């Protein structure tokens, strides 16, 4: 595993070269030209209802040899009898512009997705056994255009997530506590999953917490449709967490302008509405914490084959609109998106705190 371990930096390199670097040098139009597929969307059939009974369609599952979600930095160990079941939806790892959706057998996309699990999903392996599906994710360029093909690509990807979630629920059993988590595109699909499959159902009572990280969630136009409350306090379960990390000085205008042009789950404009901002250091909503309260940031080694935990390096405070400000961040390499956006580090900046948060909410849930 160590030999293949590129941690999250491998995908950061790709994302930066493909997006941030192009954006800074050439602007939005050329970035779109470089990444948005020129071909028309190909309407592929939905996966079969029981497709995810096939273990090969999972990047991580409890019985999988070499499970990347079981990776931990030195000093940490995954639970041997984890009480919860975790459904984790990985972020975009497919950047090919030849098609709108990744093939399920795309080796590069799957390898990068496994890298994400090591750097992100691993934070949950002390609280629960982790299931993470392969899915025909929308390519990165789908997030750079409002074309109908982009929405069709996201709908296709969500169909796979929906089928995988059905299999996860069957395998997790009828009573086991559930943790839901995702990042970026994965968090987008998670919001839809909460709305369609969790809200108003008995399953909602089994959710310890939903970590909708790296995707904006409007408190007023989205949250009421998701079936869970916002996590306002650290000692709270059955709730939703969300944050988006920015170094300072921050310019979140690219995120906010896009967010403000969209419609919420209630059909009303999101413009001007506040976003959920959970402070991952404290577990509370809307507050601030100094760097010395950070239990540990995940840092990759120079050769990208391992990672270590460094506590006390990164503070966090929620700004008025709902972005998470991290002050002047430590050197993490040239992989920061426009606006001082530390999006791709959302989990690794607070890896040890996320781990502690999941454990704490699980204990609250079990009371």
The label of the residue with tokens 């009480």 reads 83
- Residues 257 and 263: their CA atoms lie apart, in Å, by 12
pTM above 0.85?
yes
Is residue 361 scored above 80 in pLDDT? yes
Closest CA to 14 of 109, 87, 121, 126: 109
Q: What is the pLDDT of residue 302?
A: 63
Domain-located, residue 214: yes
Q: What is the pLDDT of residue 17?
A: 39
Residue count (the chain): 367
Closest CA to 215 of 205, 226, 204: 226
On whether the CB atoms of residues 128 and 86 are closer than 8 A, the answer is yes
196-200: list long-range contacts, CB under 8 Å, 24+ apart. 196/162, 197/162, 197/165, 198/226, 198/227, 198/228, 199/225, 199/226, 199/227, 199/228, 200/227
Domain-located, residue 297: yes
Q: What is the pLDDT of residues 209-247, one digit of tens each?
A: 999 999 999 999 999 999 999 999 999 999 999 999 999
- Residues 328 and 248: their CA atoms lie apart, in Å, by 6
Domain-located, residue 3: no
Its domain, for residue 184, covers 9-366
Is residue 19 scored above 60 in pLDDT? no
Is residue 14 scored above 50 in pLDDT? no
Q: What is the pLDDT of residues 80-119, one digit of tens each?
A: 998 999 999 999 998 877 788 989 999 999 999 999 999 9
Domain-located, residue 1: no
Is residue 15 scored above 60 in pLDDT? no
Domain-located, residue 70: yes
Contacts of 196 (CB under 8 A, 6+ apart): 162
Domain-located, residue 13: yes
Is residue 4 scored above 50 in pLDDT? no
Computed from CA positions of residues 253, 255, 258, 262, in that sequence, does the dihedral angle turn out positive or negative? Answer: negative
Q: What is the pLDDT of residues 149-184, one digit of tens each?
A: 888 889 999 999 999 999 999 999 999 999 999 999
Number of domains in the chain: 1
The torsion angles phi and psi of 263, rounded to 5 degrees, stand at -110, 140
- Residues 50 and 63: their CA atoms lie apart, in Å, by 18
Domain-located, residue 340: yes
On whether the CB atoms of residues 44 and 136 are closer than 8 A, the answer is yes
What integer best gives the mean pLDDT of the chain?
88
Domain-located, residue 278: yes
**How crowded is residue 146: how many other Cβ atoms within 10 Å of its Cβ?**
9
């Amino acid at each position: 595993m160590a030999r293949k371990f590129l941690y999250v930096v491998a995908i950061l390199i790709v994302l930066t070269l493909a997006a941030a670097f192009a954006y800074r040098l050439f602007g939005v139009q050329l970035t779109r030209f470089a990444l948005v597929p020129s071909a028309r969307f190909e309407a592929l059939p939905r996966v079969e209802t029981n497709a995810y009974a096939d273990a090969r369609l999972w990047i991580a599952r409890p019985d999988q040899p070499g499970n990347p979600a079981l990776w931990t930095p030195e000093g940490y160990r995954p639970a041997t009898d984890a009480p919860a079941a975790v459904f984790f939806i990985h972020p975009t790892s497919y950047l090919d512009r030849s098609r709108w959706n990744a093939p399920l057998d795309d080796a590069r996309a799957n390898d990068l997705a496994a890298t994400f699990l090591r750097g992100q999903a691993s934070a949950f392996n002390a609280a629960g056994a982790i299931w993470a599906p392969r899915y025909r994710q929308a390519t990165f360029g789908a997030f750079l255009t409002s074309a109908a093909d982009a929405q069709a690509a996201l709908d296709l990807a969500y169909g796979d997530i929906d089928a995988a979630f059905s299999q996860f629920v069957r395998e997790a059993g009828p009573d086991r506590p559930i943790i839901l988590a995702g990042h970026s595109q994965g968090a987008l699909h998670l919001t839809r999953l909460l709305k369609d499959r969790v809200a108003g159902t008995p399953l909602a009572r089994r959710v310890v917490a939903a970590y909708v990280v790296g995707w904006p969630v409007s408190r007023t136009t989205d949250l009421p449709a998701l079936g869970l409350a916002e996590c306002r306090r650290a000692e709270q379960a059955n709730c939703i967490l969300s944050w988006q990390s920015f170094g300072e000085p921050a310019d979140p205008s690219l995120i906010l302008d896009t967010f403000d042009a969209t419609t919420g789950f209630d059909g009303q404009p999101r413009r001007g509405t506040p976003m959920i901002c959970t402070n991952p250091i404290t577990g509370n909503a809307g507050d601030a914490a100094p760097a010395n309260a950070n239990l540990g940031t995940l840092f990759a080694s120079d050769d990208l084959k391992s990672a270590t935990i460094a506590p006390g390096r990164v503070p966090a405070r929620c700004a008025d609109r709902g972005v998470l400000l991290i002050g002047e961040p430590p050197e993490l390499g040239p992989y920061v998106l426009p606006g001082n956006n530390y999006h791709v580090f959302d989990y690794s900046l607070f890896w040890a705190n996320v781990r502690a948060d999941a454990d704490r909410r699980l204990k609250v849930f079990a009371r």
